[in-house]
Amino acid sequence: MKAVVFQGPFDVAVQDVPDPRIDGPPDAIIRVTTANICGSDLHPHEGRAPLDEGMVLGHENMGVVVETGQGVERISVGDRVSVPFNISCGTCRNCNDGWTNACMRANPSGKPTAGYGYPQMGPYRGGQAEYLRVPWADFNLLRLPAGSDCERDFAMLSDIFPTGYHATELARVRPGDTVAVFGAGPVDLMAAHSAMLRGAARVFVVDKEADRLVLAEEMGASGVDFAKVDPAEGAVARSPA
C-alpha cells in the first residue's frame, strides 16, 4: 500500500509499505478514507521529537472496516468508523478509571501513552496510508453513520474536535459565560465552537491572521486582531452596551 513515511527531519515521502495485518483477535483493519495532518506532526518533522525512520505518520484517521480479528464483537466489516488518536486496551486500571489516554498496556515501552505514528507512543503505524491496523478495535473505534456524508466533519472526531472540546471542559464553560480563546488555529476554532455548543453567551477569538479570524467570525465568534488592538480593549469594544 501507499503511505506517508518519515525518513528523518524535514524528509518524508510517499512509499510502498507492507499492508497491515491482523496480529491478534482484538484487531481490525480499516481502509482509510480521510486522514488529517496534525500540527503536532511538525514535532518529528522539524526534528524536535525523536521518531524512528520508516514510521508511517498520521494519527487523525477515519475509514471503513475491511477485516476483523476473531475477538472483535462490537465492530463489523463494512462499518464506517472514526479512529481516536490514543490507543487504549479498555480493561487496565487506568482505562477502567477513565484515564484511557494513559493506558498501562498499549505501549510496549511501559510508558502510559500510546498512539498512531507518533514519537514514543509505541510501534503503531499511522493512518496517512491506504490501510491501518487498529488494536482493541471494539474499544478504540467509534462507529459512524454509513455512507459518505459529513466526511470532513467526522474527520475532526479523531483528535481536533475532542481536544478543543476538552479545553472547554477544563475551563468549566457554562451557559451564559463570556469566553476568550487565544489563537485561531484548528484546535482553537474547535474550542470556540465547543464553547458555543456549551451555551457561552459571547466567544472572542484572538489572533493576528486575517483568514483565521474570518473563519472564527463565520462560526459565530467575535474575532479580535491583537496586531491592531489590545485584546482586552478589543473585546470591550465589540461587546454589546
Say if residue 7's pLDDT is above 70: yes
Q: How many CB atoms lie within 10 A of CB 153?
A: 9
pLDDT band at 12 (very low <50, low <70, confident <90, very high): very high
pLDDT, one tens digit per residue, over 49-69 is 999 999 999 999 999 999 999
Say if residue 235's pLDDT is above 80: no
Close Cβ partners of 211 (under 8 Å, ≥ 6 residues apart)? none
User: E strands within 97-192?
Assistant: 131-134, 142-144, 178-182
Average pLDDT over residues 151-156: 93
| Dihedrals phi, psi of 33, to nearest 5 degrees | -105, -30
Say if residue 210's pLDDT is above 70: yes
> Residue 80: which H helix or E strand, with range?
strand 80-83
pLDDT of residue 36: 93
Give which of 118, 164, 121, 141 is closest to 32, Cα–Cα.
Answer: 141
Grid cell, residue 79, equals 462499518
Helix extents (H) in 132-185: 137-140, 151-155, 160-170
* Mean pLDDT of the residues in the chain: 93
User: Do residues 96 and 124 lie in contact, with contact meaning Cβ atoms separated by under 8 Å?
Assistant: no
The region of weakest confidence among 27-41, 136-150, 201-215, 218-232 is 218-232
pLDDT band at 110 (very low <50, low <70, confident <90, very high): confident
pLDDT of residue 112: 81
> Residue 93: which H helix or E strand, with range?
helix 93-96
